[in-house]
Structure 1
Amino acid sequence: MPTYTLAFPLQAELEIRKSRFIAYAIPVADRDAAMTELQRLRAEHASATHVCWALLAGGHSGMSDDGEPSGTAGRPILEVMRHHELEGVLAAVVRYYGGIKLGAGGLVRAYTDAIAVALKEAQRIERIAYARLVVEVDYADEARVRRWIEQAGHTLAHGEHGAAARLTIQLPASEQDTARAALRDATHGRARFPDPEAGEGGAQP
């Protein structure tokens, strides 16, 4: 099932009973990148009462109520993101307290509405999973393989030269089987595909 990230960062602001809620939705590569963005937002809004957030990034997802009552901020933000089928996105809502308490239900609505407004005009792009394919060829075939990588629009991530040329190609995971077939064809069946973790000689036919 496809997942989606955002084409670009989004921002929206709501005022609810004198409190300001500033929502951000930011595409991020991983948790480290998300934490860097959070630090930036906290620095930018140093006088804010709360900076609540949720992150969907595979096995590194998370959320924080940042001092709001438990379950009233991070989880509502996360649920809105899940509704949009987002992945690789940090959503944060900065609150400047206006002096009027909203109650638990009011807070859930406020954080839900703030991030929902930010995502209302979201331009989603399909998130492509990438993989690395290792191909091992004799030196006579190396130039042919490099030319195929360039023509196919893939990336040569790494090259090693031992008894044979061992090239690591970065490409969409869904195209690995097609790439193997094309490389076998380009080298008249001489291309070998070792396990990326194996040393030389661990080739699969």
Structure 2
Amino acid sequence: MFKLKGPATSEREIRKSRFATIAAPVDDEAAARAFIAENSFADATHNCWAWRIGTEYRFSDDGEPGGTAGKPILQAIEGQEVDCVAVLVSRWFGGVKLGTGGLARAYGGSAAECLRLAEKLPVVAMTALVLPVAFSDLALVVARLQAFKGLVVGRRDFTETGADFHLQVPEVDAPALEELVRELTNGRSNARFDED
């Protein structure tokens, strides 16, 4: 799965109709709707779109025959394995009818081309952990955590005996982090899932 690094655009002409596509990363439905509203062309014949955030998605044919625009755009998003994205394809009718199959290919193909050209980053699944560390182990653990790739330290809550580190670590690296901490502290510290 991938996320877009930033906005991407593409444009093409299909049988005298102009198709302009813009795709952008979005974090939630409100951001997706705002992106679509801000980037729709008032003079376009149709502004068709789709967005996907995790398991949630929406799409619109904006007056094109049902299933010929929004759904093909969503299928392009899924085909390119992109998440947290909104894609808008604006069409200026050129006088030649494309038919339902031609419309689906034009909208889906425009979205797929834009997403193919976009700069993407892999989505890394993260796990939230709490790591209690005694004062006697604090300096050593802090030094080693700084060198652990992909680790994000959210906050430190100091306690009577040490500190609780709230961490985000790539899921695939969580077992290695847990093992490292056990070795550094001779088994005195064990990470647990963060319930916050």
Which bracket does the TM-score occupy, shorter chain normalised? Answer: 0.7 to 0.9
RMSD, aligned CA: 2.4
1:116 and 2:120 equivalent? Answer: no
Distance apart, 1:99 and its partner CA = 4.7
The CA deviation string for residues 38-63 of structure 1, in whole angstroms up to 9 with x for no partner, is 23313xx2333322122232122222
The answer to whether the aligner puts 1:176 opposite 2:174 as a matched pair is yes
Residue 157 (structure 1) aligned with residue 151 (structure 2)? no
Structure 1: distance between partners of 2:45 and 2:135 = 63
Other-structure match for 1:133: 129
Q: Structure 2 CA distance, aligned partners of 1:137 and 1:120?
A: 45
Q: Whose strand fraction is larger, Structure 1's or Structure 2's?
A: 2
> In structure 2, what is the equivalent of residue 92 of structure 1?
88
Tell me, what secondary structure is at the counterpart of 2:55?
helix
Residues 1:34 and 2:32 aligned together: yes
Assess if the C-alpha contact under 8 Å between 1:30 and 1:88 holds in 2: yes
- Structure 1 segment 1-205 matched on structure 2, within 5 A: 3-42=1-40, 45-153=41-149, 154-164=151-161, 165-197=163-195
Which residue is equivalent to 1:203?
Answer: none
How far off its partner does 1:4 sit? Answer: 2.5
Identity score, percent: 36
Q: Which runs of 5+ in 1 are unaligned?
A: 199-205
Structure 1 length-normalised TM: 0.80
Contact between 2:181 and 2:190, CA under 8 Å: does it hold in 1? no
- Give the TM-score of the pair, scaled to structure 2: 0.83
Q: Shift in Å at residue 101 of structure 1?
A: 4.1
Q: Tell me, yes or no, if the aligned pair for 1:134 and 1:195 is still in contact at 8 Å.
A: yes
Per-residue deviation, residues 19-56 of structure 1 (Å, max 9, x unmatched): 321012323444444334223313xx233332212223
Cα distance in 1 for partners of 2:52, 2:42 equals 25
Deviant stretches of 4+, over 6 Å: none
Conserved? CA contact 2:26–2:84, under 8 Å: yes
Matched letter for residue 60 of structure 2: S
Tell me by how many angstroms 1:7 deviates: 4.4
- In the alignment, the residues of structure 2 paired with residue 195 and residue 163 of structure 1 have an alpha-carbon distance, to the nearest angstrom, of 21
In structure 2, how many angstroms separate the alpha carbons of the residues matched to 1:32 and 1:138?
Answer: 43
2:38, 2:142 → 1: CA distance? 41
Distance between the aligned counterparts of 1:134 and 1:36, measured in 2? 36
CA 11–158 in structure 1, closer or farther in 2 if over 3 Å, else same: same
Residue 143 of structure 1 aligns to which amino acid in structure 2? A
**Alpha carbons 2:126, 2:168 under 8 Å: kept:** yes
Amino acid across the alignment from 1:55: W
Which letter maps to 2:88?
A
